[in-house]
Homo-oligomer: A and B are copies of this chain.
Amino acid sequence: MAQKEFSIVGKKTPRIDAFERVTGQAQYTGDIQLPGMLYARVLRSPVPHAKIAGIDTSKAEKLPGVKAVIHHGNTQIPWSSGGLTHRRFIFNNPVRYVGEAVAAVAATNRHIAEEALGLIEVKYEAIPHVLDAKEALKPDAPKITPNGNLSVGKGAFSAPIQESWGDLEKGFKEADRTFEDTYISKHVNNAQLERRVSVAKWDGGKLTVFASTQGVSNARTDIAKDFGLPLSKVRIVCKYMGGGFGNKNQAQDYDYMTAALAKATAQPVKLEFTREDDYIGMHGRWASEQHYKIGVKNDGTITAVQLDAITNMGAYRKQSGNLSGTDFYQIPNFKKVVLPVHTNTVVAANYRAPAYPQSVFGFASFLDQIAYELGINPLDMFTRNRAQMYKSKIPFTSNYLEQCISEGSKRIGWSEKWHKPGAAAGTVKHGIGMAVGGYPFRPGLGAATIRVNPDGTAHVLVGVTDIGTGAKSTMAIIASEALGIPLNQIQLTNGDTDATPYSVGESGSRTTSFTGPAVVAAAEDVRKQIFALAVKQFKVKPEELDLRDGQVFAKSDPSKKVGLGAIVKGTGDLIGRATTNPSFPKDVEGKSFAAHFAEVEVDTSTGHVKITRYVAAHDSGTILNRLTAESQIKGGIVQGIGMALTEELLIDPVTATPINPSYRDAKVLTHLEVPDVEVIFIENYDPYGVFGGKVVGEPPITPAVATVANAIFNATAKRVKVLPITPDKILQAVRV
């Protein structure tokens, strides 16, 4: 569909809060200081599985400056969203992994709090533990939950996770060839820049939490539920936040601990995690072992796919544990069984496109391999098998995956540069690879309020926290476009449940598609009020008026304009509001698509991989802000490259202790280690998106891991099937 004409949508618009962010004036949660505020620290279990036979906090409590010590013995607050399949408290007995919170201390400064941790005496009675997900499924494995180690939940969290369509047997019969193989991904931490931090205070019966959360509304819901408070008695504030990538969804245990300590001490309390706390005390992406059986025709056409997988969820279940990397292909006959499993390790849950990059890695690597086996150019393989229908049967609201593949391959020069795997000369070998990905696009519940000031400027109130995506700017852009008021005349108030209306948690790439329609509807609501006033000046019916660029005019005579300020003067405020909950018709589904292409140089003498070029072509419908959208694409790719090449949280098999919980050791890429990314937007107006936009946040990470892996294969003709593809694995592969 052709693009519509917009005033501001689609431009490269700097963030509306750029000044505050770059000058350090933006107040992040860690910057918040309250009078009389205490500082907290968390004591974590050094053992992977143990009954706590006793806690002696007397020495810690006697330390001058210590105001409270809380633990399972005196503070049993459920953490519902932290334990979706077995009951979890903020402190648990037994403890189930190294790093699980055992106690928290509030003191007059953080040094005293830290010193106090060392004075707490805990008597652990060891219980046998299991670290490996396959081992955990054996009948004699130590039981981590009362129901055993297959994480059997309810509804969306029931296990095994199963999905199938078509006739698998028939599909394999139709295949000319059938391939089977196993791909493995590891636990990687979200590693967002801002460590977890929370400041809580109680005013009588009302709890305020300055959180670092991806969603103030669902943080409020969680806290209200678990603290037994009505929603009106909980206020969550998050004006600026420094990333989460899915592990700051709603409220987390540190918010609860801070609130509990604030209650115990009757003082405000701040708890800021160390980077180590952040790596081991929260969650990363679930590791997986993916066994595929794929039937294909000789021309590469897939006839059947069977996936049997295990995902390692750690000691508690917080999210699905699903694997969805097959979503971007047209698969006529399909069956998937995924077993989310508990082990005595750090918890795994949401990380940007939770179920995708690890399984796109598996499936797209394997397809690339099959293409190799069949003697087919991967470009043809991916093009031929690209998703054309949702679950191979339901049409998408829009689908430009084919154009992503064709435009991206053109940009990188695939036809000139591709060569047979391992065919490049020299020790440092050139390779080129590709993969496809994307992420579901769906609409949902949103709310917004817009106030038009009596000088014609406007305030937009939305609950979004802006986790780094530029959501504040996007909402202001949507408001500007929908209102017809220039962006620089719009202020935005966000992220405060006492001030701003409901917003979906900023996860699942939902902010624009959930809150955006509410902003548009609130704008319509206030425009009606403006036009009702303007009829005095224009002597036409309200519906015959329009407002653009801050000027009201009759559609029949756009030359005669009246400034909005002159219309609304003396009104105090006009207020528009909307709660919207759009949905698709039953017979369509939404998805953003992407095709990525990378060139690498693999030094076969050192195993070192250098990515020399990266092209990302994305179908996200209309791009509302090209500047922040490009940043999203680049950021997702950097994370994917890290996951492909270096990142892994290692657990010592003897002590069960995470041994590299830091940026440097885990290991997160720096700017120097990643390529510049060329971003191509295949822009089309999606009929169900806000101004035609679909989703941007999660798609870019999904094909990045596989893209890099396939480029390495093209260079080396050796397939590394276990992430990350570190130099040692490459050397081992090329030396075979």
Contact = CB atoms under 8 A, between A and B. Distances in A.
Interface of A: 19-20, 23, 25, 31, 33, 35, 201, 203-206, 217, 221, 224, 230-233, 235, 445-447, 449, 451, 453-455, 457-459, 461, 489-491, 493, 496, 498-504, 529, 570-579, 581
Which interface residue of A502, A571, A581 has the most chain B CB atoms within 10 A? A502
Given A25-B201, A447-B572, 8 more contacts: A20-B204, A230-B455, A231-B457, A445-B570, A446-B572, A447-B573, A572-B579, A575-B578
Nearest to A221: B454
A720 to B, nearest CB: 46
A206 B491 contact: yes
A31 B217 CA distance: 28
A516 to B, nearest CB: 14
The 7 closest A-B pairs by CB, nearest first: A502-B572, A499-B499, A232-B457, A19-B204, A575-B577, A502-B573, A231-B453
Contacts of A224: 455
Number of identical protomers: 2
A572 B445 contact: yes
Contacts of A575: 447, 449, 501, 577-579
27 contacts: A19-B203, A20-B203, A25-B201, A25-B203, A25-B204, A206-B491, A217-B572, A230-B455, A230-B457, A231-B453, A232-B453, A445-B570, A446-B572, A447-B572, A449-B449, A449-B577, A451-B501, A454-B502, A491-B498, A493-B498, A499-B499, A501-B575, A571-B579, A574-B579, A575-B577, A575-B579, A577-B577
Contacts of A454: 221, 231, 502
Contacts of A455: 224, 230-231
A529 B23 CA distance: 43
A19 B498 CA distance: 18
Nearest to A204: B19
B572 A501 contact: yes
Nearest to A31: B35
A533 to B, nearest CB: 10
Given A35-B31, A455-B230, A572-B579, A500 B499 contact: yes
A573 B501 contact: yes
A146 to B, nearest CB: 30
A201 B502 CA distance: 29
A712 to B, nearest CB: 45
Contacts of A217: 572
A232 B573 contact: no
A496 B461 CA distance: 12
A581 B574 CA distance: 12
A363 to B, nearest CB: 35
Contacts of A19: 203-205
A233 B491 contact: yes
Contacts of A205: 19
A581 B446 CA distance: 30
A645 to B, nearest CB: 39
Contacts of A233: 457, 491
Contact of A499 (B493, B502, B579): B493
A113 B501 CA distance: 43
Contact of A491 (B232, B502, B576): B232
Contacts of A23: 204
A224 to B, nearest CB: 7
Contacts of A578: 575
A411 to B, nearest CB: 37
Contacts of A499: 461, 493, 496, 498-500
A231 B458 CA distance: 8
A461 B577 CA distance: 13
Contacts of A230: 453, 455, 457, 489
A570 B581 CA distance: 10
A573 B459 CA distance: 19
A180 B573 CA distance: 50
A502 B570 CA distance: 11
Given A577-B577, A579-B573, A489 B232 contact: yes
A206 B488 CA distance: 11
Contacts of A500: 499
Which interface residue of A19, A571, A575 has the most chain B CB atoms within 10 A? A575
A232 B459 contact: yes
A459 B493 CA distance: 16
Contacts of A446: 572
Contacts of A33: 33, 35
Contacts of A206: 491
A157 B649 CA distance: 74
A496 B203 CA distance: 19
Contacts of A574: 579
A461 B571 CA distance: 17
A578 B571 CA distance: 11
A586 to B, nearest CB: 19
A458 B449 CA distance: 15
A474 B252 CA distance: 36
A152 to B, nearest CB: 26
Nearest to A25: B203
A614 to B, nearest CB: 34
A20 B202 CA distance: 10
